[in-house]
Amino acid sequence: MKKHNFNAGPSILPQSTIENTAKAILDFDGIGLSIMEISHRSKEFQAVMDEATALFKELLAISEGYSVLFLGGGASMQFAMVPFNLFEKKAAYLNTGTWASKALKEAKLFGEVIEVASSKEANFNYIPKQYTIPSDADYFHITTNNTIFGTELHEDIDSPVPLVADMSSDIFSRPIDVSKYALIYGGAQKNLAPAGLAFVIVKDSVLGKVSRAIPTMLDYRTHIKEGSMFNTPPVVPVYAALQTLKWMKELGGISVLEKINKEKAALLYDEIDRNKLFKGTAAIEDRSLMNICFVMNDEYKSLEEEFGKFAAAKGLIGIKGHRSVGGFRASTYNALPKASVIALIDAMKEFEKAH
Ligand code: PMP
Q: Is 79 touching ligand 1 by the criterion CB < 6 Å?
A: no
Summarised one tens digit per residue, pLDDT across range 88-119 is: 999 999 999 999 999 999 999 999 999 999 99
pLDDT of 248 reads: 98
Cα 127 to averaged position of ligand 1 atoms, centre (Å)? 18
Quote the Cα angle for 91-134-74, to 5°: 30
pLDDT of 202 reads: 98
Cα 167 to averaged position of ligand 1 atoms, centre (Å)? 9
Q: How confident is the model at residue 159 (pLDDT cuts 50, 70, 90)?
A: very high
pLDDT of 100 reads: 98
Ligand 1, closest atom to CA 188?
15
Q: Which CATH superfamily is domain 253-353 in?
A: Aspartate Aminotransferase, domain 1 (3.90.1150.10)
Q: Residue ranges of the domains in the chain? A: 15-251, 253-353
Q: Considering the entire predicted model, what is its pTM? A: 0.98
Q: What is the mean pLDDT of the chain?
A: 98
Quote the Cα angle for 190-61-169, to 5°: 15
Q: Check the annotation: does 8 bind a ligand.
A: no
- ipTM for the assembly: 0.99
Amino acid at 239: Y
pLDDT of 1 reads: 73
Whether the predicted pLDDT of 4 surpasses 80 = yes
Ligand 1, closest atom to CA 187?
15
CA distances from 139 to 24, 40, 163, 284 (A): 41, 34, 6, 29
Summarised one tens digit per residue, pLDDT across range 118-138 is: 999 999 999 999 999 999 999
Q: Is 149 touching ligand 1 by the criterion CB < 6 Å?
A: no
Whether the predicted pLDDT of 298 surpasses 90 = yes
Domains 15-251 and 253-353 share a fold: no
Contact call for residues 133 and 264 (beta carbons, < 8 A): no
Cα 76 to averaged position of ligand 1 atoms, centre (Å)? 6
The architecture CATH gives domain 15-251: 3-Layer(aba) Sandwich (3.40)
d(CA 171, CA 163): 16
